[in-house]
Amino acid sequence: MLSLRSLYAKLALTLILLLFVTAIVYSAISYSLTRQGIMGELQRENADIAANLAAEIPQTVGGELDRQYTEQLFRLMKIVNPDVQLYLLDPKGNISHTASIINTELVTRSVNLEPLQQFLDGNRSFPLFADDPQSDSEPVTFSVASLAAGDKPLGYLYVTLRGAEHETYNSGRPTDLISTIGIYALIGSLLVSLLAGLFIFRRITSRLQTLSCLIDDFQQSGYRQSQNYRNAAADSGNDEISRLGHSYDAMAGRITEQFDLLQEQDQSRRSFIANISHDLRTPLTATQGYLEMLLHKYDALNDEQRQKYLNVSLKHSKRLQNLISDLFELAKLDDRAEQLNSELFSLNDIVSDVIQGYQPQANSKNIDLKYQTDESRLLVRGDLAMMDRAVSNLLGNALQYTQEGGYIKVNVAVSGTDKVSFVIEDNGPGIDPAQIENIFKRFHRADNQHNEGSNAGLGLAITQRIVGLHGGSLTVENTGNGTRFSFELPKASDERKAA
């Protein structure tokens, strides 16, 4: 059912109103022009009727008009042509005589001579209008001739071409055939225009209606599911409505993605709270337990036991401190609050220093830690401290997951013409393919039997953000015999040598 509040109904009503106004204006203009044309033609055809009649009016011996003959001439003229009215005017325009068979009472006894004088002066821009003595509603066309006896003006013979009886007689008839045809043509044209306009409006508004329904459905779905406008409306155009529909598709897709992202972030937040609660509570509970035991059984414990409890408490407190430090660092990296202290440094030198620091831990697990580099100095530009942290996290992660007697290979080399690559590979248990996509998420730890559980699952997340801030991308893959992490950084030139 068509609603009057719909856009199509409003456009249709507006079109009908415009066509109605157009019809009224056209009819008024057409009537006026038709009337002007007919009356002008009538006046042109009868322009000489007054002059011809004046030539037939005899004069008396005294130079006056023969009233008796004039009366007979007027009667004869009314019989021949009832549409005309004849008047004798004196030189001032006053009516001195009219046909006695005129039954209508005269409204005025005088006529304005200005249009009559224009007629006599040769102004034949018909139609010319003058006063109608029988009606004061509107002027009439006329013919006029001067009457004179020698040099003596006697007045005017004034002939109105359409009198009151004629107007009354014709008021119930169409003006003429041309006007009738024009009216029918107007009605037909307006109907065709109306139907064409309604069809065009329907074509335009149907797409808007489809778009409106899609938006309503999208809203009712909680902004989670949307239909494609192009398919729903079968619209392959490029006009404003088509572009609006395509913009809606893009917007709806973006909103859906944002909702999914918010849901994922909410799930991550819940997991984050659960994980951080567990990771903070574990060392805190252990520290508290050993300290309480020392407090309550201090005298019953020997020095060796006391030292053991203190060492365990210190270990757990350091773990708690490291976890809190990692959380603060990750928060700063996420908010981009951590600014890069950019400087030129050698990546392979940093890697070499980090490896030396972890060598004792590797030796304690009998892990073969190998390091290979192409050149002595592979320069990059960035934050030296951050990059040291990133390399340390990757090497520490490899040592944690590599079993005793295994190996770790570290390689720093030139990649292409403008990159420096870092690759670290181990022969540990590898990563479950189902977990690879989550490996860089905070608090994620690989689920395998060699995980000692001593880390909080923040190291790889911090490393990924550090590498990203330096214009690189950290990647991970299973090699079949273990795991490989790698990233590339833009290679920098030695500015001191260039100088």
Q: Is the pLDDT of residue 58 over 50?
A: yes
Count of domains forming the chain = 3
Q: Is the pLDDT of residue 219 over 60?
A: yes
Residue ranges of the alpha helices (H) in 297-431?
Answer: 303-334, 347-364, 384-401
- Domain span at residue 93 reads 46-173
Q: Is the pLDDT of residue 487 over 90?
A: yes
Q: What average pLDDT does the segment 80-102 reach?
A: 80
Q: What are phi and psi of 434, to 5 degrees?
A: -70, -20
Determine the pLDDT at residue 59: 66
| Residue 435 domain flag | yes
Exposure string over 68-104, b if 16+ CB within 10 A, otherwise e: eebeebbeebbeeeebbbbbbbeeebebebbbeebee
Q: What average pLDDT does the segment 175-188 reach?
A: 68
Instruction: Decide which of 318, 334, 350 is a domain's last residue.
Output: 334
Determine the pLDDT at residue 409: 94
Q: Is the pLDDT of residue 400 over 60?
A: yes
Q: Is the pLDDT of residue 490 over 60?
A: yes
> What CA–CA distance (Å, rounded) separates 354 from 393?
10
Whether residue 67 is found in the same domain as residue 139:
yes
- What CATH number is associated with residue 303? 1.10.287.130
Whether residue 305 is found in the same domain as residue 372:
no
Determine the pLDDT at residue 412: 92
Give Cβ neighbours of residue 310 (< 8 Å, ≥ 6 apart).
Answer: 290, 294
pLDDT confidence tier of residue 451, bands split at 50, 70 and 90:
very low
Q: Is the pLDDT of residue 337 over 60?
A: no
Q: Is the pLDDT of residue 457 over 80?
A: no
Whether residue 314 is found in the same domain as residue 378:
no
Closest CA to 219 of 262, 248, 240: 248
Whether residue 406 is found in the same domain as residue 486:
yes
- What CATH number is associated with residue 94? 3.30.450
| Residue 24 domain flag | no
Q: What average pLDDT does the segment 214-241 reach?
A: 79
> What CA–CA distance (Å, rounded) separates 121 from 176?
32
Q: Percentage of the chain with pLDDT > 90?
A: 9
Q: Is the pLDDT of residue 163 over 60?
A: no
pLDDT in tens, 343-399: 899 998 999 999 998 898 899 999 999 999 876 778 899 889 889 989 988 998 899
Tokens representing residue 426 in the block: 């181990």
Whether residue 84 is found in the same domain as residue 139:
yes
Whether residue 71 is found in the same domain as residue 167:
yes
Q: Is the pLDDT of residue 165 over 50?
A: no
| Residue 75 domain flag | yes
Q: Let me know how long the chain is.
A: 499
Whether residue 108 is found in the same domain as residue 149:
yes
Q: What average pLDDT does the segment 18-35 reach?
A: 78
- What CATH number is associated with residue 419? 3.30.565.10
Q: What average pLDDT does the segment 27-45 reach?
A: 79
Higher-pLDDT residue of 144 and 271 is 144
Higher-pLDDT residue of 321 and 237 is 321
Q: Is the pLDDT of residue 405 over 80?
A: yes
Q: In one letter, which amino acid is 43?
A: Q
| Residue 237 domain flag | no
Determine the pLDDT at residue 171: 46
Report the mean per-residue pLDDT for the chain: 79
Tokens representing residue 352 in the block: 């070499």
Q: Is the pLDDT of residue 486 over 90?
A: yes
pLDDT confidence tier of residue 83, bands split at 50, 70 and 90:
confident
Tokens representing residue 104 in the block: 């209508």
pLDDT in tens, 15-25: 888 888 887 88
Whether residue 492 is found in the same domain as residue 366:
yes
Q: Let me know: does 448 contact 397? Beta carbons within 8 Å.
A: no
Whether residue 297 is found in the same domain as residue 357:
no
Determine the pLDDT at residue 172: 44
pLDDT in tens, 103-141: 567 888 899 999 999 898 887 678 888 988 888 778 888
Determine the pLDDT at residue 178: 59
Q: Tell me if the pTM is above 0.85.
A: no
| Residue 217 domain flag | no
Q: Is the pLDDT of residue 411 over 90?
A: yes
Mean pLDDT lowest among 219-233, 301-315, 413-427: 219-233
Q: What average pLDDT does the segment 185-203 reach?
A: 80
Instruction: Decide which of 302, 334, 366 is a domain's last residue.
Output: 334
> What CA–CA distance (Å, rounded) separates 194 from 189?
8
> What CA–CA distance (Å, rounded) separates 183 from 181?
5
| Residue 2 domain flag | no
Instruction: Decide which of 118, 138, 173 is a domain's last residue.
Output: 173
